[in-house]
């Protein structure tokens, strides 16, 4: 943009940004630093909090559950999102716009509302169970909600739009004539998909997976409501440590752990695919 | 290179394609001979690409039939038609090397590795790309990509090769080279080539026959010489090469600019003669282009050899233009709305 940046000379216009920068530093970076310090200092200085990752059954089970749920959510929402993105890519433009608006509207609906909507649909006294029982198909309500399966449904549904957008951006960067070329060379629709289209969408799949996985790590409301108290993920546990048991050191340690994992994943994302290719460009 | 496959004939039998109310191709019948290099030439929107896409199987036929070697292919999916196709923009697989691209159709056909390697070698020789097999498409120049696309489309020895404006992305000089190579490759492999372009020069230099299309219909089919020397309509005369149109006694004649002589006023003679003044002169290297205003006519374009007429003409000079009877060709008017050249109004007197 400005040559001053490139030549390294101080650009006085940076001063205009300074107030905003200071605000971010004071209100954002400082607390995070404080959390980091707290994880090493409370209740007593040392690595005691971090030993819990391996020493405490509760904490290690918690981390394992979180990773497992996030992985399943990632696989499910990227798979389903891929199908939707593929359909949007091949839809006529008016239909595609309609699908895009529905996608964006779903972004605006609070996660809380959505979780309760799932309870009303699939819960113990939800629409589905009531209908099946009234129809005499089942005698007992199906245990869909208030367990891990319910949490996965809620998380996946919330994450699908996050999977669709990078996938769609990637797919729109593909010259669809390559699929016609593949068919003219003798490949069936299925062969064309697996040998040409799917490999070309790999950057989109990686980007969508990382985005969904990273975002899933912080799920708090969904497991709390749909898990029925039986499924606990890191975010909820942190809240309990802070507000109920008042063990700030453990909470700070878990928060730091999450932050570091996210940064590492972001680094991987940036390393293996340039972000420009992820959002729009073709492969390589 | 061994003579791989020999071509097969293609027949369009009263083929029509409609999209809703819009008719893209209307009642086209065209017989393409085995081993022929046939060009579908027309402006954009003339239906030439639609016709090709119906042949390739990417578009359904609304009415009529397409037969290859006497067999209808209307119900055959694209991958079973066994036509090679070179796409506009080449459509190479960006995630595969040159080898991967060229071997793709062979691999799909489960060819043995040794045979595949041999075929790859033959194809690389054919398009002169030995040593490039491990490059990716984006590491190649436009001309090289074009040749990879050609090699890929020919590697499985199809009996018909379809080419959709394959030279459109190349610069002018490169295009001339590739035209020669394409013609040469056609002679060597003997496959039927069906070539779509809007470039009249490509059509003239490469084709055995040209089918000129306009507004979904075929206007005229013939060898380049036939079409250039004996156009049947105003559109054909003005789309393939340049033409003046002279109207006499209710008849329209096409007259090529280079078939007209220009002489200083009063010196003209010949079977047909008009007098006028030079409105503009353009030096074009090989020729001089004169735009001549003739009273009662639109301006007439004349092209004379530049070296012999240097310094002879000036703007606003009065000159005679003359031509012999066999230089003019009577053409049908009425199909010219999209040709961009309006016919001359009848001269009074």
d(CA A100, CA A45): 52
pLDDT for B204 equals 93
- State the average pLDDT over residues A19-48: 89
Question: End-to-end CA distance of chain A, in Å?
Answer: 25
pLDDT for B52 equals 96
Domains of chain A: 1-41 (no CATH), 56-279 (1.10.3720.10)
d(CA B129, CA A51): 61
Shortest CA gap A175–chain B (Å): 7
Model confidence over B108-158: pLDDT tens digits? 999 999 999 999 999 999 999 999 999 999 999 988 999 999 999 999 999
> Residue B51: is its pLDDT beyond 60?
yes
Helix (H, G, I), strand (E, B) or coil at B59: coil
pLDDT for B347 equals 38
Is B87 in Cβ contact with A182 (below 8 Å)? Answer: no
Q: Which residues of B touch A180 (CB under 8 A)?
A: 56, 58, 78, 85, 87, 91
pLDDT for B348 equals 36
* Mean pLDDT rounded to a whole number for chain A: 88
> Residue A6: is its pLDDT beyond 60?
no
pLDDT for A27 equals 92
Helix (H, G, I), strand (E, B) or coil at B325: helix
Q: Does B148 touch chain A (CB under 8 A)?
A: no
Between the alpha carbon of residue B333 and those of residues A43, B25, B228, B250, the distances in Å are 98, 21, 17, 10
Name the B residues in 69-108 with CB < 8 Å from any A CB.
Answer: 77-85, 87-89, 91-95, 104-105, 108
Model confidence over A118-176: pLDDT tens digits? 999 998 889 999 999 999 888 888 888 889 999 999 999 999 999 999 999 999 999 99
- State the average pLDDT over residues A210-215: 92
> Residue A280: is its pLDDT beyond 60?
no
pLDDT for A274 equals 60
pLDDT for B1 equals 39
- Indicate whether this complex's ipTM tops 0.85: no
> Residue B310: is its pLDDT beyond 90?
no
- How many of the other CB atoms lie within 10 Å of CB of B202? 22
Test mutation, B104, B123, B169, chain A, max A CBs within 10 A? B104
What does the radius of gyration of chain B's CA atoms come to, in whole angstroms?
24
Biggest CA-to-CA distance, chain B: 78
Angle between helices B98-108 and B142-154 (to 10 degrees): 20
> Residue B5: is its pLDDT beyond 60?
no
The reported pTM is 0.82
Model confidence over B195-254: pLDDT tens digits? 999 999 899 999 999 999 999 999 999 999 999 999 999 999 999 989 999 888 888 999
> Residue B4: is its pLDDT beyond 50?
no
> Residue A279: is its pLDDT beyond 70?
no
């Amino acid at each position: 943009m400005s040559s001053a940046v490139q030549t390294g000379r101080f650009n006085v216009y940076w001063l205009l940004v300074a107030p905003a920068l200071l605000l971010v530093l004071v209100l954002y970076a400082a607390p995070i630093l404080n959390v980091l310090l707290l994880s090493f200092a409370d209740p007593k200085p040392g690595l005691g909090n971090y030993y819990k990752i391996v020493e405490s059954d509760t904490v290690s089970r918690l981390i394992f559950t979180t990773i497992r749920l996030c992985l399943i959510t990632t696989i499910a929402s990227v798979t389903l999102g891929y199908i939707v993105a593929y359909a949007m890519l091949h839809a006529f433009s008016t239909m595609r716009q309609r699908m895009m608006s529905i996608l964006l509207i779903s972004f605006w609906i609070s996660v809380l509302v959505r979780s309760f909507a799932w309870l009303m649909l699939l819960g113990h006294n939800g629409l589905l169970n009531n209908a099946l029982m009234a129809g005499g198909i089942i005698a007992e309500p199906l245990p869909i909600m208030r367990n891990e399966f319910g949490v996965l449904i809620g998380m996946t549904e919330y994450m699908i739009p996050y999977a669709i957008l990078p996938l769609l951006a990637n797919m729109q960067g593909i010259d669809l004539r390559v699929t016609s070329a593949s068919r003219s060379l003798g490949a069936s629709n299925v062969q064309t998909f697996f040998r040409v289209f799917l490999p070309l969408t790999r950057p989109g799949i990686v980007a969508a997976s990382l985005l969904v996985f990273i975002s899933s790590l912080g799920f708090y409301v969904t497991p709390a409501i749909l898990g029925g108290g039986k499924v606990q993920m890191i975010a909820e546990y942190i809240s309990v440590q802070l507000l109920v048991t008042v063990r700030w050191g453990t909470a700070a340690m878990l928060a730091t752990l999450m932050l570091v994992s996210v940064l590492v994943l972001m680094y991987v994302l940036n390393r293996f695919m340039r972000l420009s290719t992820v959002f729009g460009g073709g492969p390589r | 290179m061994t003579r791989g496959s020999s071509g097969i004939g293609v027949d369009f039998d009263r083929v029509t394609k409609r999209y809703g109310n819009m008719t893209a191709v209307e009642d086209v019948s065209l017989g393409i001979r085995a081993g022929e290099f046939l060009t579908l030439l027309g402006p954009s929107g003339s239906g030439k690409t639609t016709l090709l896409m119906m042949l390739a199987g990417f578009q359904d036929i609304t009415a009529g039939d397409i037969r290859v070697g006497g067999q209808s292919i209307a119900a055959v999916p694209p991958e079973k038609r066994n036509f090679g196709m070179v796409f506009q923009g080449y459509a190479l697989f960006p995630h595969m090397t040159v080898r991967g691209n060229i071997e793709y159709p062979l691999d799909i056909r489960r060819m043995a590795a040794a045979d595949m390697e041999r075929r790859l070698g033959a194809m690389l020789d054919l398009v002169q790309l030995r040593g490039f097999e491990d490059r990716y498409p984006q590491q190649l120049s436009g001309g090289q990509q074009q040749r990879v696309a050609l090699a890929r489309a020919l590697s499985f020895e199809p009996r018909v090769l379809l080419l959709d404006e394959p030279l459109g992305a190349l610069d002018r000089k490169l295009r001339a080279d590739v035209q020669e190579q394409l013609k040469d490759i056609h002679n060597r492999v003997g496959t039927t080539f069906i070539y779509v372009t809007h470039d009249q020069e490509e059509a003239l230099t490469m084709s055995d026959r040209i089918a000129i299309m306009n507004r979904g219909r075929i206007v005229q089919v013939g060898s380049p010489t036939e079409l250039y020397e004996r156009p049947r309509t105003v559109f054909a005369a003005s789309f393939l090469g340049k033409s003046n149109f002279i109207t006499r006694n209710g008849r329209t004649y096409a007259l090529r600019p280079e078939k007209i002589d220009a002489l200083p006023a009063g010196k003209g003679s010949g079977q047909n003669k008009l007098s006028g003044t030079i409105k503009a002169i353009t030096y074009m290297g090989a020729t001089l282009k004169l735009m001549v205003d003739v009273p009662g006519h639109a301006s007439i374009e004349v092209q004379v050899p530049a070296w012999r007429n240097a310094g002879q003409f000036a703007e606003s000079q009065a000159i005679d233009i003359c031509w012999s009877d066999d230089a003019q060709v009577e053409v049908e008017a009425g199909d010219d709305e999209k040709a961009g050249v309006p016919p001359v109004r009848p001269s009074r007197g």
